[in-house]
Amino acid sequence: MERLIAKNVVLGAGAVGCATAHHLARRGEPVALVERFGLGHARGSSHGAARIIRHSYADPVCARLMPDAFRAWAELEADAGRSFFVRTGGVSFEPPGVGYVAKVAANLAELNVPHRVMSGAEWNAVQPAFNLPDDYAVVFEPDAGALAAARAIEAEIELARRGPDTRILTETPVLRVDLDGERPTLVSDDLTIEAERLILAAGPWIGRLIPELAATHRPTRQQVLYFRPANPGPFQPGRFPTFIHMGPTPGEAFYGMPEFLAPGVKVARHFGSETDPDEPAAVGEEYVALVRDFLRGRLPTLADAEVVARETCLYTVAPDERFLVDAHPARPDVFLASPCSGHGFKFSILVGRVLADMATGIDIDPRFDAWKRIP
């Protein structure tokens, strides 16, 4: 059994682990990043070309952290010398009575983020690709957009490699985490890795490594479709915004984005059943029919468009779609990160910075206490 001793060990090379490795390396810290699959694999939560980024949150805690998140992405762009954010505008809409749009608008007003509240009829008049019922409530945020997710993660890895002592161990499945010894230790088939500080960013597998989290951090299966309409012109960035439809029940939440770094317009339901993250998955025809049905009522020119790509992905859903970014309750040298709940990518660069701060003993801004462990 080979034995490795490292100062900072990050488990998981998804969005969160790569951002953390980058931030540790950026401040001159040695870092070992451990991943069971290859870099950029499609089995977790972070693959796919793009993710939505927006201040438009109904939850004021998330909304208030968004200016920091936008700034953290701009810092990554400065470090990498290229851009990952594209401003497309973002619209959220709902049938009467849901109450999401009013909360989003109130948070945008509090943050002084430009936005406009409209009816469905007013929105259709400015965005003819949509056909919302007249009485829908709509809020549009022109500064929302999309992040080139895969490219950003590649850049984080590239920047992490420029650190003074960075090791990236791929195809290294960790079988268990031993927290009983002097140092926290990762155990794989033929290797043990002892850490001075261990950061666990295992995404949907966090409950396997830290069983106390299994009941509250549940992996769910998500399915994503890419539609290619006969005339793709109106669905390009700059003409078509990212969108979120909030329905009266959780199963009626849908989102999408313009054709950006992918062969079509991305549309998905923000909902999925609990799953074993190791189970193979595919997008079924029933799901395609369900999404077409949603589109028929709100974006009719996409409803019968060809589906040119399909993806499956995993969310790790915590109660109230919260995040967990905190020290392990029994070990101050172990840090747990599960910032997913289906909306964590936009925060991942900020979470990486906070985790690097926690690991290196820098005081954390109390605003990030909201991410601490659910009691």
- Give least dist CB 97 to ligand FAD, A: 25
- Give least dist CB 130 to ligand FAD, A: 19
Pinpoint the alpha helices (H) of 216-329.
Answer: 285-298, 300-303
- Give least dist CB 181 to ligand FAD, A: 18
326 CB-near residues (< 8 Å, 6+ apart): 335, 336, 371, 372, 373
Question: Is 127 or 223 the residue whose CB approaches ligand FAD more closely?
Answer: 223
Question: Is 36 or 124 the residue whose CB approaches ligand FAD more closely?
Answer: 36
Task: Look at residues 40, 9, 45, 5 and name the one whose alpha carbon lies nearest to residue 24.
Answer: 9
The DSSP secondary-structure symbol of 253 reads -
- Please provide the distance, in angstroms rounded to a whole number, between the alpha carbons at the two ends of the chain: 38
Contact 82, 127 (CB under 8 A): no
- Give least dist CB 305 to ligand FAD, A: 19
Question: Is 124 or 145 the residue whose CB approaches ligand FAD more closely?
Answer: 145
Question: Is 57 or 123 the residue whose CB approaches ligand FAD more closely?
Answer: 57
- Give least dist CB 284 to ligand FAD, A: 15
Question: Is 44 or 184 the residue whose CB approaches ligand FAD more closely?
Answer: 44
Q: Is 297 helix (H, G, I), strand (E, B) or coil?
A: helix
Question: Is 124 or 316 the residue whose CB approaches ligand FAD more closely?
Answer: 316
Task: Look at residues 217, 205, 209 and name the one whose alpha carbon lies nearest to residue 320.
Answer: 217
Contacts to ligand FAD by CB under 6 A: 11-17, 34-37, 44-46, 51-52, 173-174, 201-205, 209, 222, 224, 268, 313-315, 340, 342-346, 348
List phi, psi (to 5°) of 215.
-75, -30
Q: Is 257 helix (H, G, I), strand (E, B) or coil?
A: strand
Helix (H) or strand (E) holding 40: none
Question: Is 98 or 324 the residue whose CB approaches ligand FAD more closely?
Answer: 324
Question: Distance between CA 237 and CA 144 in Å, rounded?
Answer: 11
- Give least dist CB 255 to ligand FAD, A: 7
Question: Is 84 or 345 the residue whose CB approaches ligand FAD more closely?
Answer: 345
- Give least dist CB 286 to ligand FAD, A: 18
Q: Cβ–Cβ contacts within 10 Å for residue 261, how many?
A: 16
Question: Is 229 or 277 the residue whose CB approaches ligand FAD more closely?
Answer: 277
List phi, psi (to 5°) of 290.
-65, -40
Give the distance, in angstroms, between the CA of residue 7 and the centroid of all CA atoms in the same chain. Answer: 27
Pinpoint the alpha helices (H) of the chain.
Answer: 15-26, 60-80, 100-110, 120-126, 149-161, 206-209, 285-298, 300-303, 345-359
75 CB-near residues (< 8 Å, 6+ apart): 349
- Give least dist CB 293 to ligand FAD, A: 19
- The residue written with tokens 């006969």 in the block is 230
What b-and-e string marks burial along 167-205, b requiring 16 or more CB atoms within 10 Å of the CB? Answer: bbbeebebeebebeeebbbbebeeebbbbebbbbbbbbb
**Nearest position to ligand FAD, beta carbon:** 14
- Give least dist CB 122 to ligand FAD, A: 25
- Give least dist CB 312 to ligand FAD, A: 8
Question: Is 124 or 225 the residue whose CB approaches ligand FAD more closely?
Answer: 225
